[in-house]
Amino acid sequence: MEYNPQEIEPKWQEYWEKNEFYRAEDFSKKPKIYILVEFPYPSGDGLHVGHCRSYTALDIISRKKRMEGFNVLFPMGWDAFGLPTENYAIKTGVHPSVVTEKNTTIFKQQAKSLGFSFDWSREVNTTDPKYYKWTQWIFLQLFKSGLAYKAKMPINWCPSCKIGLANEEVVDGNCERCGEKVEKREKEQWLLKITKYADRLIEDLDLVDYPEKVKTLQKDWIGKSEGTEFEMPIYIGDSPEPAKEKLEVFTTRIDTVFGMTYVVVSAEHPLVSKITTSENKKEVEKYLKEAKHKMELERLATDKEKTGVFSGSYALNIFNNQKIPIYVSDYVLMTYGTGAIMAVPAHDERDYIFAKKHNLPITEVISPENRKQKTENRLPFIDYGVLVNSGKFTSLKSKEATEKMTEWLKKEKKGGKAIYYKLRDWVFSRQHYWGEPIPMINCPKCASTKDSAQAGWVPVAEEDLPVELPKVEKYQPTDTGESPLANIKNWVNTKCPKCGGAARRETDTMPNWAGSNWYFLRYCDPKNDKTLADKKLLEYWLPVDWYNGGMEHTTLHLLYSRFIYKFLWDIGAIPKKLGSEPYKKRTCHGMVLGEGGIKMSKSKGNVVNPDTVIEEYGADTLRVYEMFMGPFGDAIAWNTKGVMGARRFLEKVWKLSQQFIESKNNRESINEIRKLLHRTIKKVSEDIEAMKFNTAVSSMMEFINAWQKEPTKITRKEIEDYLKILSVFTPHISEELWQRLGNPEGIPTGSYGAGKKSIFLEGWPKYDKKFLKKEVVTLIVQINGKVRDKIEVKADISEKEAKEIALSQEKIKKWIGNREIKKIIFVPGKLINIVI
């Protein structure tokens, strides 16, 4: 009776599927729990071992919750629109829908071969017209609510391929396809007003259980700054008269305004050419040309050299009437604030570096307030403190000064409070084929009438949804940078739903994120053709109780889908009874790297295919290995030796259980095994909830080692309880051994499969507290509060006994000598303090 996963694994997979063990039941009386993993992009490469890691983890949680009596929703689907499939279609001429179908079939088969307990009856696919009908419907609601609009935006343009590229197709500023340098080109694009939700997206993070890092990343991405905005008169060159234009400056530290020694405007600032004097023109132009090529992140990094040039002009600090030079520099971005800053080198890191480099004066205006600040005081001093050299505001504290200065600006009508965000409206257009068509029609006749919203853009009637993707001959974007849909005349040319006149369909399609924004809603009611999901069902299943995904999706998918959920909640498509947040809890997995710690990639030839591992070692081995490989949140390198170790562990489980079955004996257990089992149940139960899968596995391994030492001293019940906790990690071997064990009520050991219920219909084992108690504890013995000795005693020792033992210790006797004992304090389990 050898352990043969290739034989038992497919058998049980078929059995579980046939008996619909994983079916989530709508409106069940059991408590519900919605467990979600990010649905994959079905690429031609098949499932990655990284997918296996996160899916196994959440599969373990789902299986445990079912055994604990929950009605579990653990669904799966496909995020299938997007570039890799389109590129494959361009290369091979095979229609993307055919490619998608082939790939999803492979993914699904792989997921099944790993024993994942997904409820396949709820499978969704974003490229299915029945699904994207509702993605388009959501777009229409956004448009009707004024949250979708068209505007000219720069896109990435490859001059060699003559196509517009998505950001993810631009690698280090070059075209991913041909390697040519990518240019920016202006194009009309659809945008979504996510900025309108910026405050709520920050504030509502208080309502959810996300890792702190995820919350911080989202807040930083939204980048809310509250500060002060004010205007500065400008003097071109040596002109004694101010120009009619004024420079708007935004700062979060108005309290430092008297320390402003120069002003910086962004390279893209509209006043740059106005303020550049003829003497400085050559240098400024040269600088602007260089700046254009740098990426945004590169420009903002604090450790990068701060470059910039003097414009030749000056600005007036209205607080102290001093004229200061205006510099043009790329460390200020036009997309943030007003694109111009007051530079205070004494109290800002970047300004300080810049001032040192360009020999600009550094004036201190904030002095340290407390001792800690004083001892660490050095320039730049960036903390708040007390104002010095600041005119009538001198000796005020930073906070008070900020209020007074802002008030003064308001009174003088020269400025006031202002709030800026880093978050931009979300570009929602792609000039590609394989995406959801944007259900909008452009009508020239309606555009000319006064009441035309968005210059003639008329939404497709809701009853005409979905706007299906037509068949095309070629999938390449056109020479003009439009999507290939623009070439299909009988699709593009249509009638205006409003006036009936000749009109043109929008040929842009939606980005990948469109379908993944709301897929978790569809799982609640995947086949509904009347609405995106029935409200009663949404009310039953939502919110998602536990959502696991990649850290790389924190500022894209996770933020976008929170926005769309809030919008749907606002318009009543999601019941008001539910909260304003879709995901109660978010966790993140670490990556699985290639052997040696480098990222897996085809070009490096270090990609591990889960199919090969399953063939060689079995799915249970792969599952337990990936849970054991290291802390779940860490990036871990693949290690084949580790896989073999996992397999050996399962072989031990098999052999020991098999020995028991063959001996057909219900034996007595020894105390040690029983106690260890209860400790293991406790540890595994708690570790699963805390996603400490690696330590859960190691405690199950410990148990096996103890059992191996006393192979006959264990009862059937104990083996069964052990198999139950193991079953969520390695379902197949556990079910097989469970069945082979038979049960005491009539089915003899070894009479395999004689109608015994599946292990997954059993309850999760409980541990008994009385077995957890430690038998021996260490007591600290103190004399007058100082540690003088340690003694090992029974855990339940009485006070009297403990005192006697402590006083009888030779060391303690010596310390006490002839002195009188005033009292003895006893803290059970911890210490004895003798006061002399």
Residue closer to Zn ion (CB basis): 196 or 498: 498
Residue closer to Zn ion (CB basis): 176 or 789: 176
Helices (H), ranges, 342-432:
349-357, 371-375, 398-411
Residue closer to Zn ion (CB basis): 267 or 443: 443
Residue 453 touches Zn ion, criterion: CB under 5 A: no
707 phi, psi to nearest 5 deg: -65, -40
CB 262 within 8 A of CB 332: no
Minimal distance, residue 405 CB to Zn ion, in Å: 52
Minimal distance, residue 84 CB to Zn ion, in Å: 16
What part of residues 165-184 is at the interface with Zn ion (CB under 5 A)?
Answer: 175, 177-178, 180
**Residue of 342, 366, 496, 781 interacting with Zn ion (CB under 5 A):** 496
Q: How far is CA 816 from CA 711, 810, 813, in A?
A: 51, 10, 5
Residue 158 touches Zn ion, criterion: CB under 5 A: yes
d(CA 733, CA 752): 14
323 phi, psi to nearest 5 deg: -90, 130
Q: How far is CA 82 from CA 12, 40, 91, 153, in A?
A: 35, 12, 15, 21
d(CA 484, CA 745): 68
The distance of Cα 415 from the centroid of its chain, to the nearest Å, equals 39
The residue written with tokens 């002009």 in the block is 313
What part of residues 109-138 is at the interface with Zn ion (CB under 5 A)?
Answer: none
Closest CA to 423 of 514, 559, 291: 559
Residue 161 touches Zn ion, criterion: CB under 5 A: yes
Residue closer to Zn ion (CB basis): 160 or 808: 160
d(CA 643, CA 71): 33
Q: Quick one: which H or E segment has residue 480?
A: none
Residue 445 touches Zn ion, criterion: CB under 5 A: yes
Residue 504 touches Zn ion, criterion: CB under 5 A: no
Residue closer to Zn ion (CB basis): 1 or 171: 171
Residue closer to Zn ion (CB basis): 154 or 270: 154
Q: What amino acid is encoded at 201 in this protein? A: L
Binding mask 177-216 for Zn ion (x = CB under 5 A): xx-x------------------------------------
Residue 485 touches Zn ion, criterion: CB under 5 A: no
Residue closer to Zn ion (CB basis): 170 or 388: 170
Residues in a beta bridge with 791: 779
Residue 160 touches Zn ion, criterion: CB under 5 A: yes
Residue 407 touches Zn ion, criterion: CB under 5 A: no
Residue 498 touches Zn ion, criterion: CB under 5 A: yes
Those residues with Cβ within 8 angstroms of residue 580's Cβ, 6 or more apart along the chain or in another chain? 200, 204, 207, 565, 566, 569
Residue closer to Zn ion (CB basis): 455 or 499: 499
Minimal distance, residue 86 CB to Zn ion, in Å: 15
d(CA 680, CA 664): 25
Choices 150-158, 215-223, 254-262, 667-675; region in contact with Zn ion by CB under 5 A: 150-158
Number of C-beta neighbours around residue 106 at 10 A: 17
Q: SS3 for 613? A: helix
Minimal distance, residue 500 CB to Zn ion, in Å: 7
Q: SS3 for 418? A: strand
Q: What is the DSSP letter of 773?
A: -
Tell me: cis bond preceding 439? Omega within 30 of 0 counts.
no
Residue 443 touches Zn ion, criterion: CB under 5 A: yes
What part of residues 509-568 is at the interface with Zn ion (CB under 5 A)?
Answer: none
CB 36 within 8 A of CB 57: no
Minimal distance, residue 186 CB to Zn ion, in Å: 19
d(CA 511, CA 139): 12
Three-state SS across 68-99?
A: CCCEEECCCEECCCCHHHHHHHHHHCCCHHHH
**Residue of 499, 502, 761, 827 interacting with Zn ion (CB under 5 A):** 499
Choices 257-265, 490-498, 582-590, 766-774; region in contact with Zn ion by CB under 5 A: 490-498
Choices 158-166, 212-220, 418-426, 697-705; region in contact with Zn ion by CB under 5 A: 158-166
Closest CA to 621 of 653, 657, 655, 589: 653
Residue closer to Zn ion (CB basis): 377 or 448: 448
Choices 60-68, 79-87, 419-427, 501-509; region in contact with Zn ion by CB under 5 A: 501-509
Choices 154-162, 254-262, 580-588, 771-779; region in contact with Zn ion by CB under 5 A: 154-162
Residue 688 touches Zn ion, criterion: CB under 5 A: no
Minimal distance, residue 176 CB to Zn ion, in Å: 8
Residue closer to Zn ion (CB basis): 163 or 791: 163
Residue closer to Zn ion (CB basis): 160 or 666: 160
Residue closer to Zn ion (CB basis): 87 or 782: 87
Contacts with Zn ion by CB under 5 A: the residue count is 14
Minimal distance, residue 132 CB to Zn ion, in Å: 25
Residues found near Zn ion in the complex (CB under 5 A): 158, 160-161, 175, 177-178, 180, 443, 445-446, 496, 498-499, 501
